[in-house]
């Protein structure tokens, strides 16, 4: 066995971002991911945010590596027959259709279970059972309803959504864990099961520390929030905290040399208690090591604005990389704000396979994020995404074992359409 999930066949009904993130990970771990797409149309992202006309978008290619594509009209009677065969053949069905779509297609869970009792059916929906279960959901809806937006941004500004796709990619990650867990349980029970992840739940899981703070509020102000030091009273729900650290070690973003012209000349600075003395030495405030107004974490809490102001005076004399070097020599945790350009050019990320260059027949070379999860006995080789319907014939004949005459019948029914090199314009 060279790959952890070798031999696992995934019937991939996912589209856009959340589901494809999940199945891409499974493919990277060695599963055979068969992506089912509508003939002539495919995953809508093939044609979205296109940078090169008629070429599959980066949106699509970066989320669908290592998969095979079959086009199948699942509303066509012959297409339904093929889908039945796929269900019998595969181990896992993954989907992130709108609510009720799979049922309307004629494949509710009960039927799938009858067709293949070992099948794991994994679904992403926007919401779990309850008042919103029938709603369609995209990334930012999940960020807003999962608690991220109300707690992101500055106190006196609008709620903010984050650049990290915690609703889509975050929920895809959750689902992937659910699937491998169900596969593991199947090795004992021999039976499949349903795995469901709601995007709202996934975001809330990632906002766990904010629900922590909501409950802490009942027992007094949140002293590590800047507004405590500023004397601004707290309301009855967790406020937006700007760049205040969400953990027990106060932290802020501070300016570095060049900030006037470079939007990313900043550094995240954490005043971890065990290295307080080193911080005082570096910023030129040795007196703060013993001064009772600064020497311990609790007395520093009302003075965080003053303390970070002084730290910033020091960081503004250094570039973010110079500051990082000096601080790390004394074990002071900090993080330069890296632009996407800086990340794209980072040789160490390329060396580990976290950034990979991929070649695509119609696009040429492009940069992608590889597998961030490294398994020593199951290394990931990132392969380009499939063209629409590129593997239809191959899957019908070698996976589903249709005969030549059956293949002609399927083609004549219009259930599979024709393979296409170009994405929709
Ligand atoms: N053959 C025939 N029909 C197909 C098909 C195929 N291979 N694949 C999909 N379809 C049809 C479905 O059967 C469905 O038809 P009906 O509505 O008539 O039943 C139709 O395509 C639309 O499916 P959809 O509701 O999933 O797609 P949408 O574009 O209207 O909505 C989205 C997109 C993402 C809002 C919705 O899928 C959703 O809410 N998904 C769950 C949450 C989620 O994952 N959101 C994240 C997306 S990434 O930001």
Protein residue with its CA nearest to atom 11 in ligand 1 = 101
Which token pair is 210? 């904010």
Protein residue with its CA nearest to atom 26 in ligand 1 = 97
Please say whether the beta carbons of 334 and 328 come within 8 A. Answer: yes
**Does the structure show a pLDDT above 80 at 1?**
no
Give the 3-state secondary structure of residue 331: coil
Q: Evaluate: CB of 72 within 6 angstroms of ligand 1.
A: yes
**Rounded average pLDDT over 203-212:** 97
Q: Evaluate: CB of 78 within 6 angstroms of ligand 1.
A: no
Rounded CA separation 268/337 (Å)? 7
Please say whether the beta carbons of 107 and 52 come within 8 A. Answer: no
Tens-place pLDDT, residues 32-67: 999 999 999 999 999 999 999 999 999 999 999 999
More confident residue, 284 or 422: 284
63's CB contacts (< 8 A; 6+ apart) are 17, 20, 21, 24, 45, 385
To test the pocket of ligand 1, the residue of 59, 98, 128, 166 to mutate (highest count of ligand atoms within 8 Å of its CB) is 98
- The atom of ligand 1 lying closest to the CA of 102 is 13
Q: Evaluate: CB of 321 within 6 angstroms of ligand 1.
A: no
Tens-place pLDDT, residues 86-138: 999 999 999 999 999 999 999 999 999 999 999 999 999 999 999 999 999 99
- For residue 64, the 8-state DSSP code is -
168: annotated active-site residue: yes
Phi, psi of 350 (to 5 degrees): -70, -40
Which token pair is 23? 């199945």
To test the pocket of ligand 1, the residue of 73, 74, 101 to mutate (highest count of ligand atoms within 8 Å of its CB) is 101
Q: Evaluate: CB of 124 within 6 angstroms of ligand 1.
A: yes
Please say whether the beta carbons of 360 and 386 come within 8 A. Answer: no
Q: How many CA atoms lie within 13 A of 301 on its CB side?
A: 13
219's CB contacts (< 8 A; 6+ apart) are none
Which token pair is 229? 């030091």
CA distances from 1 to 5, 189, 214, 321, 347 (A): 9, 23, 48, 43, 31
269's CB contacts (< 8 A; 6+ apart) are 251, 252, 253, 254, 308, 311, 315, 327, 332, 334
The whole-chain average pLDDT of the chain stands at 96
Closest CA to 96 of 68, 118, 71, 125: 125
Task: Give this prediction's pTM.
Answer: 0.96
- For residue 52, the 8-state DSSP code is S
Q: What is the maximum alpha-carbon separation in the chain?
A: 88
* Active-site residue, selected from the candidate residues 43, 168, 201, 244: 168
Beta pairing partners, 266? 255
- The atom of ligand 1 lying closest to the CA of 36 is 7
Beta pairing partners, 253? 268
Please say whether the beta carbons of 337 and 264 come within 8 A. Answer: yes
Protein residue with its CA nearest to atom 7 in ligand 1 = 38
Q: Evaluate: CB of 36 within 6 angstroms of ligand 1.
A: yes
**Rounded average pLDDT over 200-204:** 98
Q: Evaluate: CB of 17 within 6 angstroms of ligand 1.
A: yes
In which element (H, E) is residue 355 found?
A: strand 355-360
Tens-place pLDDT, residues 217-273: 999 999 999 999 899 999 999 999 999 987 889 999 999 999 999 999 999 999 999
- The atom of ligand 1 lying closest to the CA of 138 is 49
CA of 54 to the centre of ligand 1 (A): 23
Q: Give the pLDDT score at 425.
A: 47
């Amino acid at each position: 066995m060279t790959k952890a999930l070798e031999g696992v066949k995934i019937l991939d009904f996912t589209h856009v971002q959340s589901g494809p993130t999940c199945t891409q990970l499974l493919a990277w771990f060695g599963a055979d991911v068969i992506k089912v797409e509508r003939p002539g149309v495919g995953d809508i992202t093939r044609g979205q945010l296109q940078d090169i006309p008629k070429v599959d978008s980066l949106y699509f290619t970066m989320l669908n590596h290592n998969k095979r594509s079959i086009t199948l009209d699942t509303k066509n009677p012959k297409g339904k027959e093929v889908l039945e065969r796929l269900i019998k053949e595969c181990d896992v069905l993954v989907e992130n259709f709108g609510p009720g779509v799979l049922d309307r297609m004629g494949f509710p869970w009960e039927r799938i279970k009858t067709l293949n009792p070992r099948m794991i059916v994994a679904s992403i929906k926007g919401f779990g059972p309850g008042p919103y279960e029938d709603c369609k959901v995209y990334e930012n809806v999940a960020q807003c309803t999962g608690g991220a937006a109300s707690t992101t941004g500055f106190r006196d500004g609008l709620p903010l959504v984050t650049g990290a796709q915690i609703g889509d990619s975050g929920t895809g990650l959750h689902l992937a864990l659910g699937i491998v867990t169900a596969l593991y349980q199947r090795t004992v029970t021999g039976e499949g099961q349903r795995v469901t992840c709601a995007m709202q739940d996934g975001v809330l899981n990632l906002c766990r520390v904010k629900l922590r703070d909501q409950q802490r509020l009942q027992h007094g102000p949140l002293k590590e929030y800047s507004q405590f030091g500023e004397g601004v009273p707290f309301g009855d729900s967790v406020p937006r905290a700007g760049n205040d650290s969400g953990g027990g070690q106060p932290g802020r973003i501070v300016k570095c040399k060049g900030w006037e012209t470079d939007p990313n000349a900043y550094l995240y600075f954490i005043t971890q208690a065990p290295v307080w003395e080193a911080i005082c030495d570096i910023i030129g405030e040795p007196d703060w090591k013993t001064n009772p107004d600064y020497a311990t974490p609790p007395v520093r809490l009302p003075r965080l604005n003053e303390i970070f102001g002084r730290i910033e005076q020091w960081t503004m004399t250094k570039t973010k990389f110079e500051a990082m070097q000096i601080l790390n020599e004394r074990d002071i945790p900090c993080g330069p704000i890296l632009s996407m350009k800086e990340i794209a050019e980072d040789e160490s990320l390329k060396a580990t396979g976290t950034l990979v260059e991929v070649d695509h027949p119609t696009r040429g070379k492009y940069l992608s994020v590889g597998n961030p999860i490294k398994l020593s006995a199951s290394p990931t080789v990132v392969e380009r995404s499939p063209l629409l319907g590129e593997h239809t014939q191959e899957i019908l004949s070698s996976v589903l074992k249709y005969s030549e005459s059956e293949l002609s019948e399927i083609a004549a029914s219009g259930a599979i359409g024709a393979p296409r090199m170009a994405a929709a314009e």
